[in-house]
Structure 1
């Protein structure tokens, strides 16, 4: 069935019993009962960070891999365990206040929507969804039901990124005409689709791992546990992984909406994996912080970024491995390394000292990931308890994710400028529109 049909059907099933997550929380003495879907790798880090909040009780753990489930159960012996998140909601929905979704990208929307349709606050890892249609549906549902939501881009709450946002919005380089951002990570795959199948590990429920995605035989080393990001059906490539983090601060600082046009310079599509190298050029409508239009160029993969005068650093210095450069219309630039490094102001190809007056509200620079990393998670917990507000709710995250996904879609039509109609959520190029949605497998 189509995603929109799935979303409509599950909403109808949940509507009768739906209550805001905060109602459950307040009924239980102002503590937050959390359920965690996907608890290996990043999911384990999410579990540790959320549960480190003194007012959190972990009550449910869900993973399709029994090894991951056992490791998490050892940390939280009182939590109930499940392989199927649908069974978890059937069994104990009224005992859950908030849900953390840390699955591969293709399961973000199905699991998050079911959580919201059960009235739960949701923390969902980035990118918010696998398809544009899902991002818009999740944003709409969360807004209509006044749910607390947060996308998992933890550096959004780090000092350096908040400082860069403050500096840009206060005109440190004037109107911004361009942004160039990069990561040399390679979550692409230029080889052929693997043939044949391998025995499914006894610890893995392959059907549940596939979830709503198309049926595919298990092949060792290609999907679970680590390489799904490279595959069109499950991940979003390097752009959907590191791109979300590195896009976030410029996107937020400049208060951008979704782009007008997108062009991806990459190899021809294979129908299986994302390109190993991408150069994606976006044109955005202007904002109060930019020129009439903003050009944004993203580079990823081995060797990224390509050399460009906008990226030349003083004293012949090498660029940081990952980062973003803001370029002002008068040539001033602000370099934002990724991550946990202060932004650097460049004027006439020389570094200039930053004027930090007016930034006292940000506190002091922090260089300790262990303490900084928890901020974004604890902000979500506090927001669920009515003590704070989320800085990356789905209203923001859906637009950022849509922008990212449009870039990955452009990789299916290399070197072609695609024109996006944001109001109607369609491309002028009809052949691209069928990729905005995809069938959901019944599993």
Structure 2
């Protein structure tokens, strides 16, 4: 195996010549990047004019990091030599193990951690590993998984590359939405997860002096801690947003089928609105309990957005797409309001999608309405975003309103809940 020295983002890359209108992609039936431990040399470096010749995260490399460097022997001991009994799962990065490590001078002060061991996938895997270190080493937010440290060490097998995170005992949102799950996420929990995930994206997009585009937002990358707080994880495909004066970053097309925004798939032009689209897909996951792409279902039900499309015209049809695990009128009303937020995120034109801060404001209103507090009408700050959304919820004289959503720009007539006066 070829060895790659660990660097913190300061290594210069060769200029790329990839054109955005012929973006290189790595589509598969599940993920658009290869998974497991197979070799994957797909080049996903930024190729916009403003980023050529620079490393992926040059801004972050100069920032102080509190990450701890672990030795490989420490991690072998923590995982009982990476015993299968400690294995939590396997993803695009490699295998993940549960372990216990000491993070202070007190030998008795040990904490549970999740340890990712990079699969033998060559340069691409190393890039993703470096990206995780660069991003999570300098950003911190309650709704981002905390990276504790890393390991980069040579041994007889080559170079070992590992990442050590806070352990998330309640797994991923995808786990709990699965039909095989023994637990069921109640409505209130799903709404909280929607809030937490939105807060994480708002932080990445708008609350720092640089912008990070997640690029692989999906339910399996949203983990739940002991208190069921949702945290975004797996930043291996993250990218810095476009420099000032540029509208997008051009990259090879990677991510997960079913979540990727149509304009990104078609052109390779990446913006924060790509994450907004993925978030809209995720909201329909929470509403329906179904995956965005499920080859095990009948052909007409395999693609989530296509399946929900004919069910959005009225209340009776909408109820047919509601997750059977959610029951009651309150669940139906809240799910409908959440679908309106999803539809705004799934606008065909990226410019017409709201920013994540606006999306969060709408989700907050849905939560307030579900608990009977605050103004039950979800709203947006911007005038442009208000027009369609307010027509659907606030103008009770109109029974229907036209809303364009979806990767084909299809037109649906959204049903609105009648306003009932109470004494």
Larger RCO of the pair (alpha carbons < 8 Å, separation 6+): 1
Whether TM-score is above 0.5 comes out as no
TM-score w.r.t. length of structure 2: 0.28
Q: TM-score normalised to the size of structure 1?
A: 0.27
